[in-house]
Amino acid sequence: MDEILSVFSVEAREQLDAMEAGLLQLERGDRDAETINAVFRAAHTIKGGAGVVEIASIEHFTHVLENVLDRLRNGEIAVDSEMISALLLGCDHISALLDAVQSGQLGPDAELDTAGAAIADQLRPFLDGNAPAARGGALTADGGDEADLQRSDRASATNDCWHISIRFGRGVLRNGMDPLAFLRYLLNLGEIVHITTLCDAMPDADSMDPEACYLGFEISFRSHASKEAIERVFEFCRDDCELFILPPNSKLDEFIALIEALPEETMRLGEILIKSGALTREELDSGLHQQQAAGVAAGATAAPPPLGNILVERNSVQPELVEAAAAKQRTVSEKKTAESSLIRVHADKLDQLIDLVGELVIAGAATNLLAKKSGEAALVEATSVLSRLVESIRDSALQLRMVQIGETFNRFHRVARDVSRELGKEIELVINGGETELDKSVVEKIGDPLMHLVRNAMDHGIESAAARAAAGKPATGRVELNAFHDSGSIVIEVGDDGGGLDKLRIQAKAIERGLLQANETLSDQDVVNLIFEPGFSTVDKVSNLSGRGVGMDVVKKNITALRGSVDVRTEPGAGSRFIIRLPLTLAIIDGFLVGVGRASYVIPLDMVVECIDLGDAGGDRNYLNLRGEVLPFVRLRELFEVPGQPPSRENVVVVQYAGQKAGIVVDQLLGEFQTVIKPLGTLFRNMRGIGGSTILGSGEVALILDVQALIGRCAKSEEQRAHGNTGSRRLEAH
């Protein structure tokens, strides 16, 4: 895909997000003018961008949205949720069109066109004048907006043209200026779609002054230039001509005002405007009709003021133009400030930088090692400064990839809205910790699992309003999205205050599906964890949203693939909470280097709590007493079957993950170490207990321990011991 197209789609998606957020805000009752303006501007920017990259489908469709938003902005229609729904659908449609563009399909697509037309139909009522009006404007004769839609419906590009009306003054030619030259110069700014030459001002042959200029023009002009730029073309004769410039998509009444302001006869001008494509005949008729009606109405109270009216109308043209020009300037300057504080960088470049920093970290570690061996104080000092700087570089490089999760969270406002409508439940979405940062690559991958969890919470978690009332809960269900940092990982919680998971039903279903033997007994937690088994779903009725039995296992798989974990806490009647833990970044970690035999292993430093001497506590058991607490541990030597005898003094590294503690027994503690995570080959993908590999300063390979898996292992064996049976073995084996 072209660069310009990709820039356009990225920007358009940003604008779409802004639009959606604004629309939802409007629906929630925030009728702030600035919000409406922001939504309008977003639509306008998308349309403009689409025009520049010449994607007519998006341009035309967005135009329809823009018309509705414009009426909203002018207070001609009031916000109602039906309209917001239709507008949101419109956003979706634009997004679909963008997808089509991004997949390289530039031509029209019949299916999408039909979908677009259907949405346009839904929007139609809001464009018609009979929608509830919310204003009582007196001066400007409004209306003609229904015609506005017809114009946009026609989907021809002519309605995106400027309309220029110019009547040159008598002295123009005599002053050495030639109208022809001005108009030719206009071609530098754009394309003259249609021009009508008017010589009506020319008197009869005898009194006609051959050196005077009687020419006038009605021009339909397609250009992306600003109004100032167009005006500047006529700068030299500005004082000696009558110039009217109507921006693209001007309102019908502005055209009517123009017709009245110009010296030629109304009907003749109307014909010209029709011919030049600025107006359709219906538009003209309805506009003129409205005008007459307004005149009659005005006549009832005051004397019919045709001339005064013309003057007023003439004045009313200008503020509109000024406003259009000012709005344009404003968006330009806004864009500029946004641009100066943000630089768009290709993600590949960033990845490359991180890669290089990773190599730098490894090389730095090697230098450090050599310096220490050499024993030269000055060299050691220099390298330690160096490694500190490398550390800072690493942190800032990783920081570049960090994005706030809030953006991802905000998408769910829309989901909550749609789902609650679909299900007829009142659901409130509460977001906490949106400013929590995590790696962009993680954010991208967490979106889908989160979506599923949120939908599940709304669909299965929150009970129907009646059930809630019976349980004495507030009618509005509550779904919470929380994010916070916790010992080197980010924790994302999806909680609801619904009915909680029904353990008995889960168990029954698991037995029915053959996931569980009827006589097996499981701990409560294990029962709940069954929902992550492939093909498990307890809902008998398959809804549109979830309940198709694909999902929770996929959610778990996706999260595990990110080196994360997902847990469920549930309480009958009070709701359930899904807790996702993810590493902050996928690339570099601070590690704690330990040695077993001749091999080295890395434990992520964030998870290390303390190191203690194993002493005599070990023996044959695999747990020890840590200040009165039972601490299960694993011996790496046994786990990885490292040959050789353990040294007389063994050490225990106490690690913590997700609130659980465990010990890892190693031979030596080798200290902190910056680690660039290198993925293991596909051959080792399914190996438990190892998260990746890294290269030490000496060039040796060290394996990075997957603490989560190790803790899980410890916890399991402890639980088995506690229960004295092997009930959970099945689960472990999947």
Partner 1 sequence: MEFITQTTADGATRLTIEGELSIYDAAEIKHRLIEGIRGAAVFELDLSHVGVMDSAGFQLLTLAKRESQELGHALRIVGHSPAVREVIEFFNMVAYFGDPLVIPAGEQS
For binding to partner 1 (CB under 8 A), which residues are involved? 173-174, 178-180, 183-184, 194-197, 199, 202, 205, 208, 210-211, 213-215, 217
**Minimum CB–partner distance for residue 261 and partner 1 (Å):** 22
CA distances from 422 to 63, 121, 414, 455, 474 (A): 28, 21, 12, 12, 20
State whether residue 369 is helix, strand or coil: helix
**Minimum CB–partner distance for residue 210 and partner 1 (Å):** 4
| CB closer to partner 1, 199 vs 300 | 199
State whether residue 564 is helix, strand or coil: coil
* Cα 79 from Cα 76, distance rounded (Å): 10
| CB closer to partner 1, 275 vs 598 | 275
- Residue in 677, 551, 541 with CA at minimum distance from that of residue 605: 677
| CB closer to partner 1, 217 vs 673 | 217
**Minimum CB–partner distance for residue 200 and partner 1 (Å):** 10
**Minimum CB–partner distance for residue 172 and partner 1 (Å):** 8
**Minimum CB–partner distance for residue 190 and partner 1 (Å):** 15
* Cα 380 from Cα 369, distance rounded (Å): 9
**Minimum CB–partner distance for residue 255 and partner 1 (Å):** 20
| CB closer to partner 1, 194 vs 417 | 194
**Minimum CB–partner distance for residue 222 and partner 1 (Å):** 15
- Residue in 609, 611, 612, 585 with CA at minimum distance from that of residue 691: 585
CB contact at 8 A, 47 and 63:
yes
State whether residue 279 is helix, strand or coil: coil
Helix (H) or strand (E) holding 362: helix 347-374
Tokens 């509460």 locate to 430
**Minimum CB–partner distance for residue 277 and partner 1 (Å):** 13
Q: How many CB atoms lie within 10 A of CB 540?
A: 7
| CB closer to partner 1, 202 vs 545 | 202
Length of the chain in terms of residues written: 734
**Minimum CB–partner distance for residue 219 and partner 1 (Å):** 10
| CB closer to partner 1, 138 vs 180 | 180
Dihedral angle of Cα 519, 520, 525, 526, to the nearest 10 degrees: -130
Tokens 């104080």 locate to 377
* Cα 73 from Cα 663, distance rounded (Å): 63
State whether residue 628 is helix, strand or coil: coil
Record the tokens describing residue 671, joined without a space: 């200290």
| CB closer to partner 1, 98 vs 215 | 215
State whether residue 209 is helix, strand or coil: coil
- Residue in 49, 47, 54, 51 with CA at minimum distance from that of residue 68: 47
* Cα 216 from Cα 182, distance rounded (Å): 12
* Cα 635 from Cα 651, distance rounded (Å): 10
**Minimum CB–partner distance for residue 178 and partner 1 (Å):** 5
